[in-house]
Structure 1
Amino acid sequence: MKVTPEDARKLNLPPECVNKTPSGETFVKSNLQKGILPEILEELIAARKRAKADLKASTLIALLPSEFPDNRLYCYVQEAKDPLEKAVLDGRQLALKISANSVYGFTGATVGQLPCIEISSSVTSYGRQMIEHTKKLVEDKFTTVGGYEHTAEVIYGDTDSVMVQFGVSNVETAMNLGREAAEYISGTFTKPIKLEFEKVYYPYLLISKKRYAGLLWTNSQKFDKMDTKGIETVRRDNCLLVKNLVNDCLHKILINRDIPGAVQYVKNTISDLLMNRMDLSLLVITKGLTKTGDDYEVKAAHVELAERMRKRDAATAPNVGDRVPYVIVKAAKGAKAYEKSEDPIYVLENNIPIDPNYYLENQISKPLLRIFEPILKNAEKELLKGSHTRSISISTPSNSGIMKFAKKQLSCIGCKALLSDADKTLCSHCKGREAELYCKTVSQVSDLEELFGRLWTQCQECQGSLHQDVLCTSRDCPIFYRRKKAQKDMAEAKRQLGRWNF
């Protein structure tokens, strides 16, 4: 319960009944008068603890060979919970966590029903003090002088947690030291505050504050998952290529321990991007349209595209509240990003070339360098420069710009040489390969029909019917663009097949 110094004097409260926080605020101690917020928080924290215990609970049966006369070998049997039940319990503990955190949030609000800046500033100052206190105790106790194998170091602390590097290379030893440290430090805190051992990261890649990745272990037998925080694998403001590339690199580095393999994978991906071999669905960026174009102070790519789409067809243009997918296409030198944004479907239909340098410089390079700079001596030179960046392929627009005025002429299906008006399929040099090239064209049509059929069936399954046309227009779905591209490629392949005079 909050009191001012004047209130304390009026109520004749002795100094031992008043608690002064590190930020200078004063509160009555709980043994004299307990506040309502501490009671609410205690109930929320206790409920979350029960939910987390239920989530981790499992039936563990230990059968010892000595208990049986036949001396047969028995193993530990662990009964896993139903996935749906685990998801419900995980959602429950997360909801309780958010509810508890919101108490701190609304007390720190300047407007609202229950603002109390004194509480929020006290929480922040106590958190900072406790992290510093924990750091000092850990680094003073866990030293080689104190009898431990290595000297511990607190390498990261944020809000309500600290990460300690004990220097050991064994996960089980690290867990034992973590539990020992948690028990030791909890004894110095005022109840009900308690420091709990949560997990071990091994290996661990600390990039910067609130940005890290590592294999998360809660038992010493097998890691639970690859955990990432603040990295592009969990962010929505990047194209799918960045998410997949970063996730695959981390998988190779942390799980496979194959750094050369990760470097080569990056080089191959960059080469595919520059050579126009990348699926368009991986390059789509999606952002929300939160207000009309006139209300934005600066020009944004998705806002300008929405205005252009409205001029083309107001019925299908995105509205306020929609998410606008777009890709960045080639334009005049010096053009701004908002001038180069375009609708992915429009790009597919008109063969508009993508700007690979934009994706390399503005989407891929920074996330990659954040991961590889702690690992490689010269990450930028190794990853972003070299032979894999020297070849660039750009598609030609089909019916936009100057191509509207160009005279179209058929090219040879075999060597792509221009054909005379008399020839419709092959040039004189490729006539001898007619059967081979025809079979190749038929095979291409067959492969594209199979690909389109698989994507079509997948979309039918998603919409819940295998007997109706696909009506999906979800532009956030990568399958949507793959299906559109496969349909376009199939139509082009059939057009090429129709040129044969059989």
Structure 2
Amino acid sequence: MNRSNGSARKRPPPTPKESWPNKQQATTPTTPVIDDEFLDEDVFLDETLLPEDEESLILRDIEQRQDFASRLAKWARPPLSSGYVSQCQSIMFQQLDIDYVIGDSNRELLPLSSGSAAIIRIFGVTREGHSVCCKVHGFEPYFYISCPQGMGPDDISHFHQILEGRMREANRNSKVPQFVRHIEMVQKRSIMYYQQQKSQPFLKIVVALPTMVASCRGILDRGIQLDGLGMKSFMTYESNVLFALRFMIDCNIVGGNWIEVPVGKYRKTAKTLSYCQLEFDCLYSDIISRHPEGEFSKMAPFRILSFDIECAGRKGHFPEPTHDPVIQVANLVTLQGEKQPFIRNVMTLKSCAPIVGVDVMSFETERDVLLAWRDFIREVDPDVMIGYNICKFDLPYLIE
């Protein structure tokens, strides 16, 4: 122990030896840690900002959509007047097409009906140019059979039960609550052969749906076992008349005439099935068919669309929808009675040179062209579509 000036000093502790990595250990570089306050905001600038060309494309796409929407608004039909909106005036329109669909019975118009029923649809245009879809309820399909001798009014209910049972067996998959709605005896006269009597009894058979007329006719042709009459087959009358045509005959409706639905006799449809401006429900007994005379001989302002498409065909191959895109859709819309069209436009894939007197709209993809034409059809709402071979080529090509 060393002593100096009478005070003892301790030896300082040994410093730790530096550890050197083994030759077999891999050395990894260390990344310096930088505080957030020293980070430059410009480091993230390149990640958040879009390239200039992509941003300009987005802005141009937005501008094109806004411009296209403004054009569609100019081509739309005139807005409905307050009388139509409040349902305080009669609806008078010239009908163009009549068909039917199968739907649920309207309990509001027909409280006693239930199940599926045939709904007549009448499409047309008013004097003001409003598109109309009139859904008619309550008209049922029917046909006639000759009444067998010895059958009286008291036997009809039993005949009804037998025919209902046979119809239920033949239509087991149908969920209609009643196949044969009712049967009544009427006095009619057949136009077949020479007959001295003016009229004779017939049975009018009313069924639930138009498709059941053929099924019921087949059962009656093959024959039914009747008490007191044995096996009896029946000749049917007017069982091949189309349902829509039957409706027109009974309601005195001819092609293209004017139809009136009085105020208070129609109800606005709760769930619309079309893009028509006026879509409403009514009973067939409330429809008034106007004869084409005087003021009802005039034409409504129908919108007539003439269109044509062009495809990028391959050399030596006829265009196919799966391989050859639609590169152009040209449209021309004219009002009935006008000499000049009020819409002239063409929708093209990619750019196109200007065309004098034509509104040229260019799109980047075929999908954009087709969607634009779809929106154009919905907004313009044409009543008649014409064109060269559009039923055999243009329309099927666009659909596929």
Q: Same fold (TM over 0.5)?
A: no
> Structure 1 length normalisation: TM-score?
0.17
Q: Which has the larger radius of gyration?
A: 2
Higher strand fraction (1 or 2): 2
Structure number with greater CO (CA < 8 Å, separation at least 6) is 2
